[in-house]
Amino acid sequence: MTGLLLTDALCERVRAARRVLVLTGSGVSAESGVPTFRDAQTGLWARYRPEALATPEAFARDPGLVWRWYQWRRQLVTRAEPNSAHRALVRWQALRPELVVVTQNVDGLHRRAGTRNLVELHGALDRYKCSRDQQPLDLAALQDSHVPPACPRCGAAVRPDVVWFGEILPQAELAAAHSAVQRCDLMLVVGTSGQVYPAAELPAMALDRGIPVVEVNPAETPLARSATHWLRADAGTALPALVGCLADPGGPPG
Ligand code: OAD
């Protein structure tokens, strides 16, 4: 029982869709206890300044501070568990194997829930790379207690493999996101304020193609007016309800 009533039109769209694209932001992990970025009081950017912690300049200025902040965030997400929204997407994908999840989240919770066809646009807190040549590094294998550890090949500082402000997104992931927008027949946008580009332009690209876009967010965002449907609800309530459409006795159309 989810307590959320969906219109027949929306349920029918969910049943008919085969190539579903789900774009998620930090709101999808809020019910796992992971802070969002811009929510007043609780958002990370209400307590910390992005330019002091999440830029290449900040890392060059004070690598130890930035490293410790990211290790704190990594510990936080390691203790968190995927919630009913993450799990609902896994069930949806079992019924619609072409479903793609493009996430701006670095918390790894979609991966831990078992999502396949996952595009992590902003990197991941549990991956590391050399800050000089960007080659991936296995932190556990380094056995270096320096803060941050040094790259065993060149001695440069090791950094988290996440996208910082002012950096370009990993090109393969961005290309995968664009191709998913071009292929999808339904798009969901879940738990993102839509303020960070290029992720924020993906819903408009789908709408330009005439694809229905369903927004799931308890708060109004710039997308709410143009979205085909806006579910003003928490992800942990809305996503199980949407997957429930697939279990209707009528079953999916031919
Ligand atoms: P924001 O903090 O900007 O937005 C979070 C959104 O989640 C808001 O619109 C909330 O209303 C919504 N929300 C909160 N609780 C929710 C719930 N239970 N269910 C559904 N929605 C909920 O976070 P993002 O949009 O993810 O980038 O931020 C985008 C990027 O900005 C991040 O990836 C990060 C940040 O700076 C980088 O670090 C590069």
Asked whether residue 254 is assigned to any structural domain, the reply reads: no
Instruction: Cite the active site residues.
Output: 122
Q: Domain count of the chain?
A: 2
What pLDDT is recorded for position 247? 86
What pLDDT is recorded for position 47? 84
Q: What digits encode the pLDDT tens for the residues 60-88?
A: 999 999 999 999 999 999 999 999 999 99
Domain of 212, in residue numbers: 8-33+82-122+169-247
Based on the domain organization, do 173 and 62 belong to the same domain? Answer: no
What pLDDT is recorded for position 110? 98
Instruction: Indicate the residue among 162, 187, 214 that finishes a domain.
Output: 162
Based on the domain organization, do 118 and 134 belong to the same domain? Answer: no
Is-contact 33 78, C-beta < 8 A? no
Which value, in Å, is the radius of gyration of the alpha carbons in the chain? 19
What pLDDT is recorded for position 137? 97
The token pair at 165 is 């402000």
Place of tokens 């910390």: 48
Q: Which residues of 226-237 are buried (b: 16+ CB within 10 A; e: fewer)?
A: ebbbbbebbbbb
Q: Which atom of ligand 1 is nearest to the CA of 54?
A: 38
Ligand 1 centre and the CA of 145: distance in Å?
33
Give nearest CA residue, ligand 1 atom 16: 27
Based on the domain organization, do 65 and 178 belong to the same domain? Answer: no
Instruction: Indicate the residue among 110, 140, 162 that finishes a domain.
Output: 162
What pLDDT is recorded for position 1? 40
Based on the domain organization, do 185 and 233 belong to the same domain? Answer: yes
Based on the domain organization, do 136 and 232 belong to the same domain? Answer: no
CATH of the domain at 147: 3.30.1600.10
What pLDDT is recorded for position 249? 52
Enumerate residues 6+ apart whose C-beta is below 8 A from 95: 243, 246, 252
Q: What digits encode the pLDDT tens for the residues 26-41?
A: 999 999 999 999 987 7
Alpha helices in 184-229 (DSSP H): 202-208
pLDDT less than 50: residues of the chain: 1-2, 251-254
Q: How far apart are CA 203 and CA 188, in angstroms?
A: 8
